Structure 1
Amino acid sequence: MKKITLLLALIAVTYAKAQGLNSILVAGVEDAEQFANSYLAPVSEASIYGISNGWYNTADAKPLGGFEISVILNSTGFKNKDDKKAFLLDPADYENLDFVENPGQARLVATGLGDIEGVEAFVEDDSGLFREEFELPTGLSAEDFNFVPSGYIQASVGLVKGLEVKARFLPKLKFDDAKIGLFGAGLQYDFTKMLPADKILPVAISAVIGYTNLNGEYDFTELSIIDGSDQRVEASFNTWNFSAVVSTRNIPVINFYGGIGYITGKSDIDFLGTYEANGPFFSETVVDPFSVSQNASGVSANLGTKLKLGFFRINAEYNISEFSTFTFGINFGFR
């Protein structure tokens, strides 16, 4: 079976194996859509949590004109999330899709995060004259990935007293037949700046709001077993992070911070292009066959530390949520 760079081409600057996902289309649009929903949901959820992080490394907002430019790297783990790495596929729930081994019996198959390999499926018409066999796709774990990576450049600038604006950006990257880009914007307000003695307080308390959009595209026309043109997947992830943050301050070299917040987001993945008749379950030309969407939301909490050496700073934090994330930042700034 062919390997295609689908998943992480849409969610990060690296590759993942999603072999055979386009093959499911031979079972018909309805079966393909149902399978894609179950297969892509966990990796979409992990991506939503991953790209929502990294909005702050202190609660102490920058003064007017203060700035910081950062390179943020996230690693969203799923090693122990067996419930996210597989789903139960019951042929009774599908119109045409069935297993070559023990047909008609439900079994676990890999999601986009999973590692179940060698599962052969088939579609066949009532007459038995048409039969197509193919291997169901595996996921990231089969490629020894136990995390979903993400990264971007971020800038923060201090404005009026206590207010800081932020922006994040990943220029549109192209590799093979994939493209990916990211942008976002955020605000941080330091409430302790309202107090007369804010400069001598040992801690700062802030509120942070951040919006992130990740979009990607993968063209699999040359790999598809169904004739057609401009066959591709386009994905868009939109997330919000609402957090309350507290940190130490006025310590010359190292400070500590933590926050509690709420993450919410949505992914939209569109299967686009023209797919021409190929078998009894795909009996006419179809344009832009289907889309799948996933919503995710939940409470998150993090702890981190920031080391400051003149203009150069580094920070590291661990975020606990439905999909926990380790974040590392390299920062250059002036307060």
Structure 2
Amino acid sequence: MSRYFSKRIVALITGLLLMSATGFSQLVDVDFLRSAPEDGVKFIEAYISPWANAFGAGMNGSWYNTAKPHKFSGFDLTLGLNVGMVPTSAKSFDVTEIGLSNNLSVTGSNTMAPTAAGGLDKGPEMTYSVNQPGFPPVNVATFNTPPGTSLGFLPAPTAQLGIGLPLGTEVKVRYMPTLDIKNGNVGLWGVGLMHSVMQYIPGSNLLPVDVSLFGAYTKLEANVPLNLEPDGKHTQSYSTYNATTDFNDQKLGITMSAMNVSAIASVNLPVISFYGGLGYSQTQFKAVMSGNFPLPSVEEGEVIYNDAGVKTGDDFPEINVENFSGLRANIGFRLKFSVITIHADYTRTQYNVLSAGLGISFR
């Protein structure tokens, strides 16, 4: 493989990974962070939940395209693209059902807001107000919940190496060092293990059928930028902070993981193989905010942006997306021409996944 081609592959994979990761922040209109930190985090969780779960489901894809482990010292290098699909039910959420504080109210009767995977129209208008003794209620911030993207799927690219070990076992490894790209960074690693069950059945080597047990774990870490600036409609009076430079350090630190365990089987014919699996999968998504965030303060019944309103990442609760776990089943096929392999499969789970890939395989 030429050095130029290798660089292009790395650039493609890292670009897709960072595109997916930055989608969790850069596509979000973060004006809702002008409410209390606890409310802002609840908005983030509800908004990005379907994308987080779709991407996590995709991270579980393309781990195998046959149930037959490599012979000892055999290996393969496989590139995969897994597309997690968001169900229709996850494309919107009711703002009155995510546990927001009583300081937030909805203008009008519409309470349904799009998630990141939802429609392009903005969600309902909301007002954050506070009561200050001796003054009437103060409307601190008014904003619409952010629009969706109409993107009901999210790509999760993978590159992995499979190596045959003794005793009918194969180890698979995914790894990408942390790379700085477009004001953010992203890194990934994963490990999987396949062990043949058919080797314990007498005469099984006479059949073109293989059955194995398989388990895998993948972890991704990324940092992506956020951008919340003081609202120019209100007075700014900072003594410690510079409004031009001190709010440029806002980040969202993302940690995602995906695991699956399955019993897998394949029918291996000279050119084409058919494979499938049945098992259990789980995803997790957590994120923390860092940097300085200019939130509004209220003094003598007036909204003002000053030092008292600045929050750091530690003031925001950890972001935890409601994860999915449960049964997964997939079915697919692989074509093999000499050492070149092409595969495609479909995984049925809470967030369904379409996968396809290309690889080279020896022994």
Question: 1:15/1:286 Cα in 2 relative to 1: closer, same or farther (>3 Å)?
Answer: closer
Q: Deviations over 1:178-219 (max 9, x none)?
A: 322221001000111234433312210000000000121111
Partner Cα separation in structure 1 for residue 329 and residue 158 of structure 2 = 21
Instruction: Determine if contact 1:12/1:151 at 8 Å carries over to the other structure.
Output: no
Does 2:122 align with 1:94? no
Q: Does 1:323 align with 2:347?
A: no
Task: Determine which structure has more spread, i.e. the larger CA radius of gyration.
Answer: 2
Q: Which residue of 2 aligns with 1:212?
A: 218
Matching residue within 310, 318, 322 for 1:291 = 318
Displacement of 1:140 in angstroms is: 3.1
Listed as ranges, the gaps of 5+ residues in structure 1 are 1-7
Contact 1:109 1:116 (C-alpha < 8 Å) held by counterparts:
no
Give matches, 1:191-210, under 5 Å. 191-210=197-216
> Are the equivalent residues in 1 in contact too, given 2:34–2:295 (CA < 8 A)?
no
Aligned to 1:50: 58
| Aligned mates of 1:82, 1:306 — CA distance in 2 | 30
The AA in structure 1 aligned to 2:170 is E
| Cα separation, 1, equivalents of 2:348 and 2:222 | 26
Work out whether residues 25 and 252 of structure 2, in 8 Å CA contact, stay in contact via their aligned partners in 1: no
Match of 2:159 among 141, 150, 153: 153
Matched residues in 2 for 1:65 and 1:183: separation? 22
Quick one: which of 49, 60, 71 aligns to 2:79? 71
Amino acid at match of 2:352: S
Task: State the Cα distance separating 1:296 from its structure 2 match.
Answer: 1.8
Q: Which amino acid aligns with 1:311?
A: V
Q: Distance in 2 between matches of 1:231 and 1:271?
A: 7
Distance 1:9 1:210 in 2: 19
Q: Distance in 2 between matches of 1:168 and 1:16?
A: 23
**What's 2:67 paired with?**
59
Aligned to 1:256: 274
Read off the aligned partner of 1:96 and give its amino acid letter: N
Q: Which moved more, 1:124-133 or 1:42-51?
A: 124-133
Q: Give me the whole-angstrom Cα distance separating, in 2, the residues matched to 1:219 and 1:238.
A: 21
- Does residue 135 in structure 1 map to residue 154 in structure 2? no
Per-residue deviation, 1:277 = 4.8
SS for the counterpart of 2:350 is coil
Residue in structure 1 matched with residue 286 of structure 2 by the alignment: 268
* SS in structure 1 of the partner of residue 334 of structure 2: strand
1:128 positional shift: 5.8
For the residues of structure 2 that align with 1:157 and 1:11, how far apart are their CA atoms?
30
Among candidates 314, 322, 328, match of residue 342 of structure 2: 314
Number of residue-to-residue matches in the alignment:
318
**Distance (Å, rounded) in 2 between the aligned partners of 1:133 and 1:242:** 47
Cα separation, 1, equivalents of 2:287 and 2:44: 10
Note if contact 1:263-1:299 (Cα within 8 Å) is conserved in structure 2: yes
Counterpart CA distance in 2 for 1:166 and 1:182 is 14
Instruction: Report the AA paired with residue 43 of structure 2.
Output: F
| Segment of structure 1 superposing worse, 230-239 or 29-38 | 29-38
Whether the aligned pair in 1 keeps the contact of 2:190 and 2:218 (CA below 8 Å) is yes
After superposition, give the CA deviation of every residue in 1:48-85 in whole Å (9 maximum; x if it has no partner): 2111121110011110011000001001122xx22101
Using the TM superposition, name which of 54-63 and 279-288 deviates more: 279-288
User: Which runs of structure 2 are paired with 1:173-192 in the superposition (5 Å)?
Assistant: 173-192=179-198
Distance, in Å, in 2 between the alignment partners of 1:43 and 1:20 is: 12
**In structure 2, what is the equivalent of residue 108 of structure 1?**
112
SS in 2 for 1:237: strand
Percent same amino acid among aligned pairs? Answer: 27
Q: Aligned runs of 1:21-36 on 2, under 5 Å?
A: 21-36=29-44
What is the CA-CA distance between 1:158 and the residue it aligns to? 0.4
CA deviation string 1:10-54 (max 9, x = no partner): 673785785554211111112112222222222222222111121
* Matching residue's letter, 1:216: A
SS across alignment from 1:140: coil
1:90 match: secondary structure = helix
- Counterpart CA distance in 2 for 1:52 and 1:258 is 14
Q: What does residue 3 of structure 1 align with?
A: none
Structure 2: distance between partners of 1:153 and 1:44: 20
Paired amino acid for 1:236: T
